[in-house]
């Protein structure tokens, strides 16, 4: 079965999401339609940035999906849209995305699922800290202090990381970025200045391959919803007819 993936975000999603999906749902073939990989050359301007999210992602899907459907008719069994919720209202964001897709006539017979990482993809890593950060050699001897700082200074709830931060209406995102707090925890003043800084583009994709879905499901309801849906979809005999 073929799943077309329209994902928001940047490097972490480009490098990490598809390998994570392939690793956990091997009965499906995942084809990433967005974001597209950046080509070598000058850094693109803001208007051409490949990392879309929120309304910008919705507009990108509305533009790109009809083209893909015309070029590759009858090749898709499921359209999977994935984005960071970033403290926005779940029901509102889901409806906006579905309204945009369902307005395209060619999508009428294709299943659609909208999944979110709340507030960001790094919540999955936080949820299974002991199998991700705690085991990575870059954070050896520091991971316990990093976790303590995140918990005590930034009030990150390790048992429910999807609830971190609040919505900032002026910026249309979280007041505090989970990914930034994770980066900050890796460069505390007390650490050796030569210590490796957490990288959203490098560490997040790598650590996604180390997390245990059963552990993340216990602490992240939105992750559990998407995981269970894909697990059932990719195993369903009716989808192979």
Tell me, yes or no, whether 232 and 192 share the same domain: no
What pTM did the predictor assign? 0.90
Tell me, yes or no, whether 115 and 9 share the same domain: yes
For the stretch 118-161, pLDDT in tens is: 999 999 999 999 999 999 999 999 999 999 999 999 999 999 99
- Paired sense of beta strands 111-117 and 78-84, if any: parallel
Tell me, yes or no, whether 42 and 67 share the same domain: yes
Q: Is the dihedral of CA 199, 205, 210, 213 positive or negative?
A: positive
Tell me, yes or no, whether 16 and 112 share the same domain: yes
Which CATH number is 11's domain given? Answer: 3.40.50
Tell me, yes or no, whether 110 and 131 share the same domain: no
- How far apart are alpha carbons 76 and 67 in whole angstroms? 13
**Which range of residues forms the domain containing residue 11?**
2-120+219-240
pLDDT at position 49 over 50: no
Contact 186, 195 (CB under 8 A): yes
Where is pLDDT greater, at 12 or 125? 125
Q: Name the packing angle between helices 90-102 and 54-71 (round to 10°).
A: 30
Tell me, yes or no, whether 132 and 236 share the same domain: no
Contact 87, 165 (CB under 8 A): yes
Confidence at residue 31, expressed as pLDDT on a 0 to 100 scale: 95
Tell me, yes or no, whether 15 and 87 share the same domain: yes
Tell me, yes or no, whether 114 and 12 share the same domain: yes
Q: What is the mean pLDDT of residues 184-190?
A: 97
Q: What is the mean pLDDT of residues 61-69?
A: 91
Contact 30, 226 (CB under 8 A): no
For the stretch 25-35, pLDDT in tens is: 999 999 999 87
Domains of the chain: total: 2
Q: What is the percentage of the chain residues whose pLDDT exceeds 90?
A: 77
Tell me, yes or no, whether 227 and 115 share the same domain: yes
Tell me, yes or no, whether 102 and 72 share the same domain: yes
Tell me, yes or no, whether 111 and 190 share the same domain: no
Tell me, yes or no, whether 155 and 111 share the same domain: no
């Amino acid at each position: 079965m073929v799943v077309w993936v329209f994902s928001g975000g940047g490097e972490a999603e480009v490098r990490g999401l598809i390998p994570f999906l392939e690793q956990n749902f091997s009965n499906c073939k995942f084809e990433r339609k967005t974001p597209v990989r950046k080509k070598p050359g000058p850094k693109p301007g803001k208007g051409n940035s490949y990392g879309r999210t929120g309304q910008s992602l919705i507009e990108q899907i509305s533009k790109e999906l009809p083209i893909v459907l015309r070029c590759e008719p009858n090749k898709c069994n499921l359209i999977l849209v994935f984005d960071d919720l970033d403290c926005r209202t779940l029901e509102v964001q889901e409806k906006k995305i579905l309204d945009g897709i369902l307005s395209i006539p060619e999508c009428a017979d294709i299943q659609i699922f909208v999944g979110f990482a709340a507030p960001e993809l790094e919540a999955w890593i936080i949820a299974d800290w002991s199998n991700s950060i705690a085991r990575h050699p870059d954070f050896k001897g520091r991971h316990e202090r990093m976790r303590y700082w995140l918990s005590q200074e930034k009030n990150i709830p390790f048992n429910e990381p999807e609830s971190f931060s609040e919505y900032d209406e002026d910026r249309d995102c979280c007041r505090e970025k989970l990914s930034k707090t994770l980066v900050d925890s890796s460069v505390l003043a007390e650490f050796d200045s030569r210590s490796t800084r957490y990288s959203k583009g490098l560490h997040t994709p790598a650590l996604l391959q180390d997390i245990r879905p059963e552990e993340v499901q216990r602490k992240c309801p939105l992750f559990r919803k998407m995981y269970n849906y894909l697990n059932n979809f990719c195993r369903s005999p009716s989808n192979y007819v």
